[in-house]
Amino acid sequence: MDAAREAHAREAFRQAVVNTLERRLFYIPSFKIYRGVAGLYDYGPPGCAVKSNVLAFWRQHFVLEENMLEVDCPCVTPEVVLKASGHVDKFTDLMVKDEKTGTCYRADHLIKDFCKEKLERDPNITAEKAAEFRHVMAVLDDLSAEELGAKIKEYGITAPDTKNPLSPPYPFNLMFQTSIGPSGLTPGYMRPETAQGIFVNFKDLYYYNGNKLPFAAAQIGQAFRNEISPRQGLLRVREFTLAEIEHFVDPEDKSHPKFSEVSNLEFLMFPREDQVSGQSARRIRIGEAVTEGIVNNETLGYFIGRVYLFLTHLGIDRERLRFRQHLANEMAHYAADCWDAEIECSYGWIECVGIADRSAYDLHAHTDKSGVPLVAAEKFAEPIEVEKLVITPVKKELGLAFKGNQKMVVEALEAMGEKEAMEMKATLESKGEVEFQVCTLGKDVTITKSMVSILKEKKKEHQRVFTPSVIEPSFGIGRIIYCLYEHSFYTRASRGGDEQLNVFGFPPLVAPIKCTVFPLVQNQQYEEVARRIARSLTAAGITYKIDITGTSIGKRYARTDELGVPLAITVDSTTSVTLRDRDSKQQIRINVDEVASVVKEVTDGLSTWADMQWKYPAHSSTSAED
């Protein structure tokens, strides 16, 4: 019952947030006048401003701070690239169809819904059955099409809207497909992630970086997933903005020179072992996590720390943020380690940033497919002497002995491994000949001493050539923003106590509009002062909203609190004005000519509201907020 009440409260809270967001145009269902399209949303003016603030801070915090190479690649991508990356073959969800209407559903969603419904609403469920449903929900991601189909049959699940029977599950590729050029012969897709654009450019970027590792490339851009049936509002959409970093390192040295700058940060982590043994997330110092091997390496740990700083600076509540390690079954076979920054909101814990050590997988895949080696080289300070096996078949002798089969014998000799070759060498030296199996001939042949020379030569090598590892922090910007909305939202009673007012308590960094300008009453003098202040705000690069309507000042505050505007300037004289702080509702008095620079200092984060309260006289008004 408590769980039900809690679920109800979560739902009510979400509705309050979403209603405010939609009413104030933070977002708009796209193409609304045409009844919209599931999974497509517009950012309206305040939402668009929040997004561009988040992206600007991302650039500052990651690209500029780390001197990353930012690139900007097209969304339209030819098939060959996504064939190499594995998306054409594997980027699928399992789908079932209503056999009569053709409506499509995600197979795992239907089973999950069924189990959840049973667990929550069926009072007669046995403990055994309950355990089974919980188990099914836990392993859902691992089930094959056949297994999902069997479960659907076993549980008698039908189409939710019509109760019609369902088709067996089959894979549906989640990429939007298109065709490049007029011929219809060049299939293409809208990219499902921005990362591939970076991988295919590795060679040029490495060169641009002076052929030195490590370095990181970054990209912000649209990505597309043709979801089968988008749910969870703004969290699962068909087009979204990703910000991705690909940090290339020597697989033999994943240390990070700036790791000490984050190593003392302590936050909620949820290692694989703790999840498996049924424990909860716990506070761990990231330095410790790396030392103890919980996190695979320093570079991965460094990015986990930087992501923590990024999210908390934006206003994400540190108590509702955790870093969860992927379980073995979640992780791609090639990944060395993977952590998700998960943020808790009314939908539960949501994956918002993935931070993965993808090893050399992606560069290998594109090297194989394109034939262009995507490798790095470590130049040795001094050449290093190495022993190399050299097998030299003597073609003349072999030709005489084997005639038409010569080529096969030569190839088989050259293909010998070190151990086999050294054994042959020893036998030849002691006995003069050796029996040698040539698979391509399907028989053994006799090799004599004169037919092949086997040597170990000392060679000088000047460099080590290798495929770099990739450490990839990948940010779902829309998801971060939605969680930020929930974490920033609160309500408070109006002055009269008769209604609940909504507030978005955004930090100035994120706030869509930094301040408002209100003449207290409608008169020409105040309006002129307001316009003068507005011009000085524009010159200082501060976004503002001016409201010269006769609406009561309290109503005007309430309206802009709902937009998360941190500061309000009220023009109540021609020489000085009142500056109000959104969250504390406290007010100070400042000269007209000074106010823009004060607002700039606070919104740029150079001073706090408390600093300003120290510097400027308080203003008390009994009538302001009625």
Which residues between 346 and 375 bind a second copy (CB under 8 A)?
366, 369-370, 372, 374
Shortest distance in whole angstroms from residue 470 CB to a second copy: 16
Q: What is the 3-state secondary structure (H, E, C) of 418-465?
A: HHHHHHHHHHHHHHCEEEEEECCCCEEEEEEHHHEEEEEEEEEEEEEE
Q: Which of 11, 12, 74, 522 binds a second copy (CB under 8 A)?
A: 74
Instruction: Tell me whether residue 201 or residue 297 sits nearer to a second copy (CB atom).
Output: 201
Contact track, a second copy, 229-268, x by CB under 8 A: x--------xx-----------------------------
Strands (DSSP E) contained in 369-416 are 376-393
Q: Which of 148, 228, 234, 592 binds a second copy (CB under 8 A)?
A: 228
Peptide bond into 214 cis (omega under 30): yes
User: Which residues are CB-neighbours of 209 under 8 A, at least 6 positions away?
Assistant: 69, 215
- Nearest CA to 109 out of 165, 152, 162 is that of 152
Which residues between 415 and 444 bind a second copy (CB under 8 A)?
none
Shortest distance in whole angstroms from residue 68 CB to a second copy: 9
Shortest distance in whole angstroms from residue 364 CB to a second copy: 13
Shortest distance in whole angstroms from residue 228 CB to a second copy: 5
Q: 3-class SS at 366?
A: helix
Instruction: Tell me whether residue 84 or residue 353 sits nearer to a second copy (CB atom).
Output: 84
208 belongs to the binding site for a second copy (CB under 8 A): yes
Q: 3-class SS at 271?
A: coil
- Name the residue type at position 561: D
Instruction: Tell me whether residue 60 or residue 584 sits nearer to a second copy (CB atom).
Output: 60
Q: 3-class SS at 448?
A: strand
Contact status, residue 626 vs residue 496, Cβ threshold 8 Å: yes
Q: Which of 149, 197, 301, 315 binds a second copy (CB under 8 A)?
A: 197
Instruction: Tell me whether residue 161 or residue 583 sits nearer to a second copy (CB atom).
Output: 161
Which residues between 27 and 56 bind a second copy (CB under 8 A)?
28, 30-34, 37-38, 40-45, 47-49, 51-52
Instruction: Tell me whether residue 73 or residue 401 sits nearer to a second copy (CB atom).
Output: 73
Which residues between 526 and 565 bind a second copy (CB under 8 A)?
538, 541, 543, 545-546, 549
What are the φ/ψ torsions at residue 281 (nearest 5 degrees)? Answer: -65, 150
In angstroms, rounded to a whole number, what is the distance separating the alpha carbons of residues 26 and 443? 75
Instruction: Tell me whether residue 227 or residue 330 sits nearer to a second copy (CB atom).
Output: 227
Binding part of the chain for a second copy, among 68-76, 383-391, 441-449, 570-578 by CB under 8 A, reads: 68-76
Which residues between 157 and 176 bind a second copy (CB under 8 A)?
172, 176
DSSP secondary structure, 301-337, as one string: HHHHHHHHHHHHHHT--GGGEEEEEPPTTTS-TT-SE
Shortest distance in whole angstroms from residue 183 CB to a second copy: 6
- Cβ density class 447-480: b for 16+ within 10 Å, e for less: bebebbebeeeeeeeeeeeebbbbbbbbbbbbbb
- Nearest CA to 177 out of 95, 85, 36, 76 is that of 76
Beta partners for residue 385, in sequence order: 460
Binding part of the chain for a second copy, among 200-208, 387-395, 418-426, 594-602 by CB under 8 A, reads: 200-208
In angstroms, rounded to a whole number, what is the distance separating the alpha carbons of residues 80 and 410? 36
Which residues between 101 and 130 bind a second copy (CB under 8 A)?
102-104
186 belongs to the binding site for a second copy (CB under 8 A): yes
User: Which residues are CB-neighbours of 117 under 8 A, at least 6 positions away?
Assistant: none
Instruction: Tell me whether residue 200 or residue 268 sits nearer to a second copy (CB atom).
Output: 200
